[in-house]
Amino acid sequence: MRSSTRTRRGTGIAAAAMLAVAGLGVPVPAGASPQERPAACASIPAAGTATARSLRPADGPSYTPEQLRRIDRRLTRRLEARGAERGGAARDDGRVGATLRIGVHVHVVGGDGTKGASKKRVRRQLQVINAAYAGGQGVTNTSTRFAFYLESFDRTRKDRWHHARIGGQDDLEMRHALHRGGPEDLNLYLLEPRDPFAQAVVLGWATPPTEARRQPGLDGVVIHQESLPGGTFSGYNRGDTAVHEIGHWLGLFHTFEGGCDGPGDLVADTPAQAVASSACDPAKDSCTVQPGLDPINNFMDYAVDDCMNMFTPGQVSRMHDNWLAYRTP
């Protein structure tokens, strides 16, 4: 399940957005909060005949409304320092009408008995990413200026990296060792990661643009290799996990961030949403006191890949603003 971008102290990951799959029968710690308990989400095939379902793992406190407002104020200050205004990043970067081409450094990390994802599947994943960010997948999707191309490809086989835990020593060591380029480059790590408590198989996480220069060696996106197109996670194997996590890498929050009140996801044209989606229910309305149904088709919700097909104009504007503020060389 795709969870909020959160602060992780003492682990070397300043913030991480995660999606995890928990096996049925995995014990939930006594006294676990509702966020830590398995949610009624789409089933995902696991080993053998077992099935699995989504779990939102505990990965630190959610952002408070004041923290979100502080993030927004900082973004405004960063843009002002560059002589830009909110919503004008695509114009003010000096490349009017230009495509913002992002080089992708793909790191396939295999383990004992597996060499990891094939280069063919990597290319299919990049096609899915480019289609989504060019306005494809749905008639309501908004095109961005971002285009992604394969800058480099490397393959490593080290089992403890292949099964690295979020924020663990193996994870930090792996990313520091393999990372290439600067904040304008996307480092995409493909492996079979685990969550810190071994309760779930994590499908993806990302570092936000605010950390790109603070911890450059950790910047990037990690996704489970089985979430790539043609992977084994039914419902999550069309490549939209990477689309979602890159959204975080470009500065987006979840559509359900903050619930029905407060600043929410800091985007004006995404309806208020109290809880993450799991199924593709067009009538879902978790904030009845606010206008609009839940944005179940949004790439930044938690629905299955078949349901996710759009960014809003406000989200696109926010991604461009974050790019100019934090990732432009």
Instruction: Identify whether the C-beta of residue 308 lies closer than 8 Å to the C-beta of residue 131.
Output: no
List CB contacts of 13: < 8 A, sequence separation 6 or more.
166, 167, 171, 172, 205, 207, 218
Residue 79 structure tokens: 């843009």
Give the active site residues: 245
Residue 102 structure tokens: 């992002």
Query: Is residue 36 left, alpha or beta, with left meaning phi > 0 and alpha meaning psi from -120 to 50?
Result: alpha
R_g over Cα of the chain: 18
The SS3 call for residue 176 is helix
Q: Could you list the pLDDT tens digit for every one of the 329 residues in the chain?
A: 343 332 222 233 444 456 665 432 222 223 333 222 222 222 233 332 222 234 433 323 468 889 999 999 999 999 999 998 888 644 444 444 588 999 999 999 999 989 999 999 999 999 999 999 999 999 999 999 999 999 999 999 999 999 998 888 999 999 999 999 999 999 999 999 987 666 667 888 999 999 999 999 999 999 999 999 999 998 999 999 999 999 999 999 999 888 888 889 999 999 999 888 888 888 889 899 889 898 999 999 989 999 999 999 999 999 999 999 999 98
Question: In CATH, which superfamily holds the domain spanning 14-26+40-89+98-266+309-327?
Answer: Collagenase (Catalytic Domain) (3.40.390.10)
CA 262 vs CA 17, 136, 243, 268, 329: distances in Å: 21, 31, 26, 12, 33
Instruction: Identify whether the C-beta of residue 103 lies closer than 8 Å to the C-beta of residue 151.
Output: yes
Q: What is the pTM of this model?
A: 0.83
Instruction: Sketch the domain layout of the chain as residue ranges.
Output: 14-26+40-89+98-266+309-327
Residue 44 structure tokens: 């995902």
CA 259 vs CA 245, 251, 277: distances in Å: 20, 18, 13
